[in-house]
């Protein structure tokens, strides 16, 4: 019995040592630039963007911290501010010339991200002339966000924008939030629990072999890098040339994977994209606040790829209420006299499968199709 007990303690010690090793390795290698390197990474990229350089990134990074830094340091007030997810990151200044412009979108953005980043902007005593809000169907339903983007991709605002969101609520809703520390603990747990992720471990190991993370634009490398994204000084993010040349067959293949993932996710999803009344109230108060400042507001409804829309929205009963989401946003726009651009339905937006990189992200040509020809002012 004593021998078994001894083996148990040895086993427990080895497991603990292994876990600590994984955590330490992931933290210090930090392939996702979320931990030991996040501050240095975001500072370096911010400096390059403020110097009007385009920056190519080959890895994940803390987008929210970068956008917070940029909004705090850009030298001139942008007339146009874009808030939203990766679906709106491809919106560039060209579409709003000659107005000055900044795109503050972040991947998997939720309503909290939009409000927090707006707060960073207005904290400088700035008010935009135009705000474009990408109204994804999940921004008023956290459960749908967890299904469509994956649980790990939700509530990322807690680790980088919690303070700003709390202050945005005070500014816009007039409420004093007493849950700051609870949310801070929750956000820290969500963030640091990633250090035990096998995916992060594999990525960290790859980082040891492939060192280049940030580049100024190098045309030949840019042409060959399918996984690269290019960050622009106006806050937008454009795709590599390989991504822009995605064929219809390749886009459909990514749609098939998306459909498969959503079918698995719906096993635990019960509400199927319903409007959360608390989020609805917060969203409308945000719109009311912007209107009170004489801001021109544009809703952008990001289209899905035709095959994705057909299989996910029209044929899958679990997501039928996404159409109700679109009706709701249009009704809010009508009530507040706002402009609406796009539609979740690609046919209404005049798009085909050739305009998409995957199930929900447009090529530059697709973005231009949706936005060009609309008088913004």
Quote the CA–CA distance of 320 and 29 in Å, as a whole number: 43
Would you state the structure tokens that stand for residue 210, as one six-digit string? Answer: 């492939």
26 within a domain of the structure (yes/no): no
Direct distance between the N- and C-terminal alpha carbons of the chain, in angstroms, rounded to an integer = 81
Q: Say if CB 118 and CB 161 are below 8 A apart.
A: no
Quote the CA–CA distance of 92 and 229 in Å, as a whole number: 14
DSSP code string of 269-316: --S-S---HHHHHHHHHHHHHHHHTT-EEEEEEPPPPHHHIIIIIIS-
Q: Say if CB 52 and CB 103 are below 8 A apart.
A: no
DSSP letter for 348, please. Answer: T
Look at residue 232 in the predicted model and tell me its pLDDT. 93
77 within a domain of the structure (yes/no): yes
Q: At what angle do helices 38-50 and 63-73 cross, to 10 degrees?
A: 40
Q: Encode 178-236 in three state secondary structure.
A: CCHHHHHHHHHHHHHHHHHCHHHHHHHHHHHHCCCCEEECCHHHHHHCCCCEEECCCCC
Q: Say if CB 184 and CB 155 are below 8 A apart.
A: no
353 within a domain of the structure (yes/no): yes
Would you state the structure tokens that stand for residue 182, as one six-digit string? Answer: 């609870």
**What CATH number did the domain enclosing 364 receive?**
3.40.50.1110
Three-state secondary structure call for residue 56: strand
276 within a domain of the structure (yes/no): yes
Query: 165: domain range?
Result: 60-187+232-371
**Over its length of 377 residues, how does the chain's per-residue pLDDT go in tens digits?**
556 666 666 666 666 666 565 555 555 545 455 555 667 888 889 999 999 999 888 767 889 999 999 999 999 999 999 999 999 999 999 899 899 999 999 998 999 999 999 999 999 999 999 999 999 988 888 777 666 666 566 678 888 888 899 999 999 988 766 555 455 555 455 555 555 555 544 555 445 444 444 555 544 445 556 667 789 999 999 887 777 877 778 877 777 777 776 665 555 444 455 678 889 999 999 999 999 999 999 999 999 999 888 887 877 777 777 888 899 999 999 999 999 999 999 999 889 989 998 888 999 999 999 998 666 65
142 within a domain of the structure (yes/no): yes
Beta bridge partners of 231: 55, 237
Look at residue 288 in the predicted model and tell me its pLDDT. 96
Three-state secondary structure call for residue 120: helix
Look at residue 177 in the predicted model and tell me its pLDDT. 61
Quote the CA–CA distance of 42 and 94 in Å, as a whole number: 25
Number of domains composing the chain: 1
214 within a domain of the structure (yes/no): no
150 within a domain of the structure (yes/no): yes
Look at residue 213 in the predicted model and tell me its pLDDT. 46
Look at residue 238 in the predicted model and tell me its pLDDT. 85
């Amino acid at each position: 019995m004593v021998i078994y007990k001894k083996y148990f303690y040895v086993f427990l010690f080895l497991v603990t040592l292994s876990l600590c090793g994984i955590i330490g390795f992931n933290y210090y290698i930090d392939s996702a630039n979320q931990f030991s390197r996040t501050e240095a990474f975001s500072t370096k990229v911010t400096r390059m963007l403020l110097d009007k350089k385009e920056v190519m990134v080959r890895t994940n990074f803390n987008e929210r911290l970068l956008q917070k830094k940029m909004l705090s340091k850009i030298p001139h007030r942008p007339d146009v501010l874009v808030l939203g997810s990766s679906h709106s990151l491809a919106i560039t200044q060209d579409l709003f010339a000659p107005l000055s412009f900044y795109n503050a979108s972040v991947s998997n953005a939720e309503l909290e991200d939009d409000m927090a980043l707006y707060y960073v902007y207005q904290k400088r005593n700035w008010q935009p002339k135009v705000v474009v809000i990408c109204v994804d169907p999940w921004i008023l339903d956290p459960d749908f966000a967890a299904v469509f983007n994956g649980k790990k991709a939700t509530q990322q605002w807690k680790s980088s924008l919690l303070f700003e969101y709390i202050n945005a609520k005070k500014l816009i809703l007039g409420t004093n939030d007493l849950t700051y520390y609870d949310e801070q603990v929750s956000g820290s747990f969500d963030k640091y629990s990633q250090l035990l992720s096998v995916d992060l471990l594999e990525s960290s190991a790859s980082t040891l072999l492939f060192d280049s993370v940030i580049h100024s634009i190098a045309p030949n490398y840019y042409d060959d890098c399918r996984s690269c994204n290019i960050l622009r000084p106006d806050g937008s993010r454009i795709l590599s040339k390989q991504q822009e040349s995605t064929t219809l067959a390749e886009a459909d293949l990514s749609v098939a994977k998306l459909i498969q993932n959503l079918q698995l996710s719906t096993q635990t999803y019960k509400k199927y994209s319903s409007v959360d009344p608390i989020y609805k109230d917060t969203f409308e108060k945000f719109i009311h606040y912007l209107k009170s400042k004489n801001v021109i507001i544009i809703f952008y409804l990001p289209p899905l790829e035709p095959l994705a829309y057909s299989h996910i929205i029209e044929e899958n009963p679990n997501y039928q209420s996404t159409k109700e989401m679109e009706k709701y946003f249009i009704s809010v726009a009508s009530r507040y006299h706002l402009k609406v651009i796009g539609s979740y339905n690609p046919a209404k937006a005049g798009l085909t499968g050739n305009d998409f990189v995957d199930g929900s992200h447009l090529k530059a040509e697709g973005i231009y199709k949706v936005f060009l020809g609309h008088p913004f002012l």
